[in-house]
Structure 1
Amino acid sequence: MQKILVCFDGSEWSKKALNEAIKLAQKFGSQITVISVVPKVCFLEIGVDCATVEGIFKAEFEGNLKKAQEILNEKGVKGETIILEGSPADVIVDYAKNGYDLIVIGSKGKDATERTLFGSVTQKVAANATQSVLIIR
């Protein structure tokens, strides 16, 4: 197992997923990529400027990924972070096709509202990924 993709939204579940991925990376000498996906919300009629909402998501994820990178560095694990935009599950599944051996994801995400709007990212990733998916509870 050379490359592990970790889905990270700053939630407790994603922090557990990162910690589990770090254990695996230490055991197998794997490299980790921590990914956050800014959801596109412009299809919603929410009465707010879409760019503002997406900017808020992006700023929050940038802060979360900075902390994730610090954890990787502290644990001595090779890794990088990336923020992409789009439908979270679709983006994760597509990005994982770049040679990742495993996707590690929390069983729940950060926000029940987002889950209501976008469906369960975890379920969609598990159903559509071509590689193994480790769901952390």
Structure 2
Amino acid sequence: MRILVLIDGSKWSQKAALHALTIAKKKNAKIVLFSVLDRREAKAVAFNLGARQGSFEKIRSFEEEVWNNMKRSIQEVMGEMLRFCQSEGVNCSIKIVEGIAKDKILEEANSGKYSLVVMGAYGKSGKTRIGSLLEEIAGNIRPPLLIVR
């Protein structure tokens, strides 16, 4: 059994990983921690930063800085999760890809490699309604989907 856990760095995705860990221990399953980095997010943050500072000529350098920070941040979060899973005796790996989250998640989840997909109900914004990414992908994931609140 292989469990795909969707990680965005939020407390909700970390909570989802803990639930997946519990299942993996009981079922002797492997966990794959999966995250998608979307360059469009870095572009938006860089544009807003440039607009606030009145430095539109610096947007490209802001974008690279934001992009590098995004990559470093998710690598750190997932590295900590990986070490924790391994310390609990669970076979675990990390997969980070670049692209549009919805497309990459559906591609990975529906690849035929997984018996279960686990994700948090909310994303990084932590808004009180179900996350927009969840709304986009939930009906299109073929394996069972565990949504953690």
Look up the match of 2:118.
104
Matches within 5 A, 1:12-31: 12-31=11-30
What is the one-letter code of the residue matched to 1:123? Answer: E
Whole-Å separation in 2 of the counterparts to 1:131 and 1:81? 19
Aligned length: 131
Aligned-pair distance for 1:86?
Answer: 0.9
Matches within 5 A, 1:53-72: 53-72=66-85
Q: Normalised by the size of structure 2, how large is the TM-score?
A: 0.79
Q: Normalised by the size of structure 1, how large is the TM-score?
A: 0.85
Uncovered stretches (5+) of structure 1, i.e. residues with no partner: 114-118
Look up the match of 2:4.
5
Q: Does 1:131 align with 2:143?
A: yes
Look up the match of 1:38.
37
Residue number among 100, 103, 108 corresponding to 1:90 in the alignment? 103
Aligned-pair distance for 1:53?
Answer: 2.6
Which of these two proteins has the greater Rg computed from alpha carbons?
2
RMSD: 2.1
Q: Once the two structures are superposed, what CA deviation does each residue of 1:68-89 show, in whole Å capped at 9, x if it has no partner?
A: 1011111110010111111112
Q: Secondary structure at the match of 1:92?
A: helix
Structure 1 residue ranges (4+ consecutive) displaced by more than 4 angstroms after TM superposition: 42-45
Aligned sequence identity (%)? 31
What is the one-letter code of the residue matched to 1:102? Answer: L
Bigger helix share: 2
